[in-house]
Amino acid sequence: MTRKFVAGFVLPAIAAVLVGCSAQPATPPAVQPSDHNAADVTFAQDMVPHHRQAVEMAEPVPQHTGDQRVIALAKQIQQAQQPEIDQLTAWLKSWGAPAPSTGMGGMAGTDHGSMPGRVDASGLDRLRDTAYDREWLGLMIEHHTGAVAMARTELAQGSSADAKAMARRIVDTQEAEITTMKSLLGR
């Protein structure tokens, strides 16, 4: 065999075989483990309507009170919880789990009876009374206490690092807001 033959024919053939082999992985790609579990899904599915109710409860506050501390707290609740609703909904979508419907109707008419901290229709009706601030603060303390309980369950049972980080923020933020609300009530 001449060197020209080897260089002109055999080397390109060997190169073509090597390129063809390198295009195929030797083993199939590893399947990534799931980054969430059923507790994470439940947390997200329950926290979305729970947060929606808090946002809805906070929205009319400026029309019913002149207390700037209560108004600021209501705005703080809205600003914290709406982005969390958006994140929870995005997680549910990425996990292939159904998100709660967007129509809340104050959550009073929906079936969330066993959800911790849920404010029922009679509680929402009390907000129409003259002692608006006291009623709103009392209901929001109850509501936040429920969210903290739900977040603690996520911390104990969830596996998603992101969901657990949010749960930790919910515990920290809402416990601080509960303290503020209690001080506004003189407790």
> Which stretch of DSSP H or E encloses residue 3?
helix 3-5
Using alpha carbons, select from 100, 177, 110, 166 the residue that is nearest to residue 144: 177
Task: Please check the confidence at residue 152 and state whether its pLDDT lies above 90.
Answer: yes
CA dihedral 118, 124, 130, 135 (to 10 degrees): 0
Helices (H), strands (E): how many in the chain? 8, 0
- List CB contacts of 58: < 8 A, sequence separation 6 or more: 74, 75, 77, 78, 140
Average of pLDDT values for 51-80?
94
pTM: 0.72
Task: Please check the confidence at residue 2 and state whether its pLDDT lies above 80.
Answer: no
Task: Please check the confidence at residue 22 and state whether its pLDDT lies above 50.
Answer: no
Q: What residues does each domain of the chain span?
A: 53-95+120-184
Task: Please check the confidence at residue 151 and state whether its pLDDT lies above 50.
Answer: yes
Does domain 53-95+120-184 fall under CATH 1.20.1260.10? My reply is yes
